[in-house]
Amino acid sequence: MAVAAMMALSVAIPAMAVEPSTYTFDMAARMLTDIGWQNKSQELTKNQSDDVGSWFVNMPGHSYLRARFYSVDKNVGGRIELGLKSLQPEASVSLRYAYGYWRVGKCRILAGQTDNWWGSLAYHVRQYVGLNENAHLLMFGWGFAWSHRVPQVQFTYNTDTWGVQFALEEPRAKGTWGGATNVDTTFILPRMSLTFMFKYGAFMTHPGILFVKHDYESGNTGAADESWDTLAVVLPIKFTAGAFTLKFQGHWGKNFATEIPFYDTTWTGPVLSGSNVEDTTVWGGVLAGEYHIGKIMITGGAGYENWSNDTWTKDDEIVRWSAFIAVPYQFTKNFGIHPEFSYYKYGDNPNTGNDMGNEWLLGVQFRFVF
C-alpha cells in the first residue's frame, strides 16, 4: 500500500502543483536477491551439539524504492526512500529516508530521517551477502561502525576540499535496566555528532565524534537510578589510485549496544554492578581493497573488534574478527552479480572462557539498480 501510494503521489504531483515549472523529481529503485549457503558451528545453533548448514534465497531489506524532489535552482530538495524486504513467510516495507533540505551557498540545513557523515557509507566495504542471515552487511559490527538512519536536524558547511557537519539526533537506545517497568528513561540532550571532512587529490577522510547521555529516574521504587554514556570516535580513510581503491575505518568508544546498530547487545552495553555502572570499551577497525579490471572487480577485506569490561569474570575482553572476498561482475549499467565468501569468528565467552563459535556464508547477490 505504501509503495502504491508513493507511485500515485509521484504521478499526481505535476497536476497538483500551482507552478509546475518550479520543481522536478526523479525515481530510482534497487532490487536485490541473495542466494547461497550459511553454515553455523554448534555454538551458534539451537541444538548446541551439531554444526548446521542451510540454503537461503531471499530479498534483503536494503532493496529500495526512492523518490527525490528538487527546486529548479536545486537549493531546496527532499528524499523519500522505502526499504523492500521479503523473507518468507513475510514481506515488508520499511522507511529508510524521509527528509528535506535547504542550501544557501556552501551551507545546508537538513531535517528528517537520514544518516550523516559520522560513519559515512562513502567508506563502506563491498560485503553484500547475508543481511537476512544474522544481519551481515558491509561488515557492520565486525569492524565498521555506522550510526544508522534516525530523525535529526543537521547543519553542514562544505567546500570542495573540506567541510564540517553538526547534527542533533534522536537516540536509538531507549530501554531501561533489565527491562524494568518502573524506571523512566530521560535525555537531557539529544544525540549529537560532529564530523569533519577533508579531501586532497586521491585522499579523503571524515573523522567524527558521537555522544549521547542516557539517564534513568526510578523515584522511590528501589530500582536502579543511574546514567551512562555512549561515546564513539571514528576515523575513516579512502585512497584511490587508478583502478585500485583502499578503504579503512577505525573506531573507539564505549557502550555501543543498540545506540550503534549491528553490535551484539549482550556484550557491548554497560553493566550495572551493584550501584555502579561499568562501561564496556569498544574498539576495532576494517581494512579493504578494491581493484577494477573492466567489468570485473576483485575486492576483499578483514575486520576486527575488541570489547572489554572489568566485570566479566573469566576474561575482561572479547576479540572477534571477520573476513570476506568477492568478485562482482557488472553485465550492464543496471544489472550485476556479486559472488562472495565471508567468515565470522565470534571469540570466547568472557564469563566462561568457552568458544562462542564461527560462521561462514557463500553466496551470490543479483543486483538490479535503476
Least confident interval from 172-181, 191-200, 295-304, 341-350: 172-181
Of 183 and 271, the one with more pLDDT = 271
Of 20 and 66, the one with more pLDDT = 66
Please report the pLDDT score of residue 228 as a whole number. Answer: 86
pLDDT in tens, 235-246: 999 999 999 999
Please report the pLDDT score of residue 181 as a whole number. Answer: 72
The confidence band for 3, taking pLDDT boundaries of 50, 70 and 90, is very low
Please report the pLDDT score of residue 183 as a whole number. Answer: 78
Check: CB of residue 8 under 8 Å from CB of residue 14. no
> For strand 227-241 and strand 244-254, is the pairing parallel, antiparallel, or unpaired?
antiparallel
The confidence band for 58, taking pLDDT boundaries of 50, 70 and 90, is very high
Distance CA 329, CA 138 (A): 18
% of the chain with per-residue pLDDT over 70 = 91
pLDDT in tens, 59-69: 999 999 999 99
- The pTM of the full predicted model, rounded to 2 decimals, is 0.89
Of 311 and 7, the one with more pLDDT = 311
The confidence band for 224, taking pLDDT boundaries of 50, 70 and 90, is low
Greatest CA separation found in the chain? 69
The confidence band for 318, taking pLDDT boundaries of 50, 70 and 90, is very high
Q: What is the CATH number of the domain that holds 318?
A: 2.40.160.10
Please report the pLDDT score of residue 274 as a whole number. Answer: 73
What's at 50, amino acid-wise? Answer: D
Please report the pLDDT score of residue 223 as a whole number. Answer: 60
Q: Which domain holds residue 92?
A: 2-369
The confidence band for 6, taking pLDDT boundaries of 50, 70 and 90, is very low
Distance separating the N- and C-terminal Cα atoms of the chain:
21
Sign of torsion, CA 101 151 160 301? Answer: negative
Please report the pLDDT score of residue 17 as a whole number. Answer: 43
Please report the pLDDT score of residue 8 as a whole number. Answer: 52
Please report the pLDDT score of residue 248 as a whole number. Answer: 98
Res. 93: pLDDT tops 60: yes
The confidence band for 227, taking pLDDT boundaries of 50, 70 and 90, is confident
- Across 28-55, average pLDDT: 96
The b/e string for 145-177 (b: 16+ C-beta within 10 A; e otherwise) is bbbebbebebebebeeeebebbbebebbbeebb
Check: CB of residue 26 under 8 Å from CB of residue 368. no
Check: CB of residue 68 under 8 Å from CB of residue 99. no
Check: CB of residue 192 under 8 Å from CB of residue 166. yes
Of 1 and 25, the one with more pLDDT = 25
Residue-averaged pLDDT of the chain: 91
User: What are 36's three cell numbers?
Assistant: 547461497
Distance CA 206, CA 122 (A): 9
pLDDT in tens, 168-212: 999 998 877 666 677 788 888 899 999 999 999 999 999 999 999
Res. 4: pLDDT tops 60: no
Res. 13: pLDDT tops 70: no
Number of folded domains that form the chain: 1
Of 10 and 330, the one with more pLDDT = 330
Res. 12: pLDDT tops 80: no
